[in-house]
Amino acid sequence: MRAILAAFCLVTAVPAAAQDQPALTRSAQEGAERPAAVIADLAWLAGSWEGPGIGGAPAQESYSAPFGGTMAGTFVQEDGKGGVMFYEFIQLAEDGGSLVMRLKHFGPDMTGWEEPAEFASFPLIAREGGNWYFDGLTLERQGPDVLRIAVRVREDDGSTSELLFPLRRAAGR
């Protein structure tokens, strides 16, 4: 299980491994201009989302309303046995006229995975319609209450793959 967790936190900007379907994530191109965006552009994301996560086990993601140029978020991945596999604390923030997503991972006992001053960072690199492409992570808005998240992870053998999280807005939240 730790290998899956470690792979999840080692998101990289290398090309995705060859797959039967086209990759949903994108990589930053050196020297490319980042798209203009403000945090209010992601206000639709505020609220709670739920659906199958890793291995089909339940996952939940929640975001605050925009506040002070940021949105705070959390992610919880269940382990498929009624416990928690890991948590994430997420910050969406304005950054140089664009946006960045930053996150930290925590084990079920709230032990941090990254060093105290480290975090995973995903700068916004493109936006097309309802799709928000961060470097190695995609938010795909498929409707007012449907969200698919794709994240690129590095496997133990050095290859990459994508984890998909098909989420729906939680009823009454």
Please write down the HEC assignment for all residues of 13-34: CCCCCCCCCCCCCECCCCCCCC
Q: What is the pLDDT of residues 135-167, one digit of tens each?
A: 999 999 999 999 999 999 988 998 999 999 999
Query: In this predicted model, what pLDDT tens digit does every residue of 37-86 receive, in sequence order?
Result: 999 999 999 999 999 999 999 999 999 999 999 999 999 999 999 999 99
Tell whether pTM > 0.75: yes
- Can you tell me the distance from the alpha carbon of 65 to that of 121, in angstroms, rounded to the nearest whole number? 20
Mean pLDDT of 85-99: 98
Which range (21-30, 75-84, 100-109, 111-120) has the least confidence?
21-30
pLDDT band at 23 (very low <50, low <70, confident <90, very high): confident
Q: What pLDDT is attached to residue 5? A: 42
Q: 47-52 and 120-128 as β-strands: parallel, antiparallel, unpaired? A: unpaired
Q: What is the pLDDT of residue 77?
A: 98
Sign of CA dihedral 90, 159, 59, 144: positive
Question: Does the structure show a pLDDT above 60 at 4?
Answer: no
Q: Can you spell out the DSSP letters for 87-136?
A: EEEEEEEEETTEEEEEEEEE-TT--BSS-TT--EEEEEEEEETTEEEEBT
Distance CA 18, CA 110 (A): 35
* Encoded tokens for 109: 């006992």
Whole-number Å distance between alpha carbons of 40 and 94? 10
Q: Please report where in the chains the tokens 């046995």 appear, as a residue.
A: 81
